[in-house]
Amino acid sequence: MKNYSQYQLEDFLTDESFRNWILSGGEADAGWVWSQRLSHYPSLREDAQRAREIILATTLKEEPFAEGYFESISQGTLAAIRDQKQPRPLWTWRAAAAVVLLVGLGVWAVWNQKQVTTLAGEQLASTPVEPVRLEKDNTNNAIVPVALPDGSSILLYPGSSLTYSHVPGQNREVHLVGKAFFEVV
């Protein structure tokens, strides 16, 4: 025989007779065995109440599907499929025409931009290019840094002179008289 005076929450949850008593609604009837046990052991009422709440919260009651439930679903599905086969509304054709027009305008704009770029490049190529020329003499007693237009740099020693010329698209020419340190780009 079980010692009900030492029952804890886990014991109530695993006791099949207690579960059946809760699920059948027997707690309202004082004649049931569990109603008598809990009145005999009042210290167990709190754990029994918590077990009751857990049992009721975790028990699923499956209801059968109503008659004709599946038939109504299949009829609704077939009706939706039939409705989809109707011709497309006029606004969809207008939207498609607008998309085609926008794509055409985009292609034309890209092609036109290439033509403008090509013409601009031809005009730049035919424009005479001015040569870049730089002359520097170091008459000081200290080293003088010189920055060239192409990003190179030179440390020009005292008493030295430098001539730099460059025509874009051609070679750079540097003439040095004296001593210098070059950092070429």
For residue 181, give both structure tokens: 């340190």
Stretch 33-39: mean pLDDT, rounded?
85
Token pair belonging to 106:
């985009």
As a whole number of Å, the CA-based R_g of the chain is 48
| pLDDT of res. 90 | 76
User: For strand 144-147 and strand 172-177, is the pairing parallel, antiparallel, or unpaired?
Assistant: unpaired
Q: pLDDT per residue over 123-160, tens digit each?
A: 656 666 678 888 999 998 988 898 888 888 898 899 99
Show me where the domains of the chain are located. Answer: 4-58, 132-183
Task: Give the C-alpha separation, 22 to 27, whole Å.
Answer: 6
Q: Is the pLDDT of residue 161 over 90?
A: yes
pTM above 0.85, yes or no: no
Strands 180-183 and 172-177: unpaired
